[in-house]
Amino acid sequence: MPNQKPRVRRVPVAMPEGATAEQPWYRTIRFSGFSLIMLAIVVLFVVVLAPSLRTLIQQQEQIAQKQHEVAAQKSDVAQKKKDVARWDDPAYIEAQARDRLLYVYPGEQSFLVMGDGESAGTGDTKPTTDSGTPVSATVQTPKVDWVQAMMSSVLQSGLSKETAQELVAPEVSGTGSTGK
């Protein structure tokens, strides 16, 4: 009977008090077949549902954005309806014609005051344009023929072998001086 397995007898052994087992915590975890199947089902559930959840969240964000846009457009439509309704009032139409078009009734005189309402004591400040250049008190005629300047610019840019960065726009400020 040489093919017989030797008998092994298992005997429980108690650890002495104060002695600890030197095994890491993960060695003490035991998995049964049921727990492995449940773990696989949970992982499969997460893998299958993760893209769907991401799509759901994106669609909820888009819905919220579209609802915000609709609310903004509704308020804009309400404001425009109010503006249209104001044009039904003859007094509003008259006020707009007087303000925007400078209309007056026959027999009335209209005065257009130019300037920023300077007082008599502050004549030191000169009016400036939006870009900051001072406004002249005299009417000036431009010393540059703008048609000639435009045609020369078009021809130069079309016939030149220079790149767009190398081409320089001509001086057309109307003063006739190049500042050199």
Tens of each residue's pLDDT in the chain, 180 residues = 567 777 888 888 777 776 665 777 777 777 788 988 999 999 999 899 888 999 999 999 999 999 999 999 999 999 999 999 999 999 999 999 888 888 888 888 888 777 666 555 555 677 777 777 787 777 777 777 888 888 988 888 888 887 777 777 655 555 545 444
How high is the pLDDT of residue 102? 85
Q: Which residues contact 152 (CB under 8 A, 6 or more apart)?
A: 170
How high is the pLDDT of residue 136? 77
How far is the C-alpha of 180 from the C-alpha of 169, rounded, in Å? 16
How high is the pLDDT of residue 84? 92
How far is the C-alpha of 171 from the C-alpha of 180, rounded, in Å? 12
Q: Which residues contact 175 (CB under 8 A, 6 or more apart)?
A: 140, 143
How far is the C-alpha of 92 from the C-alpha of 98, rounded, in Å? 10
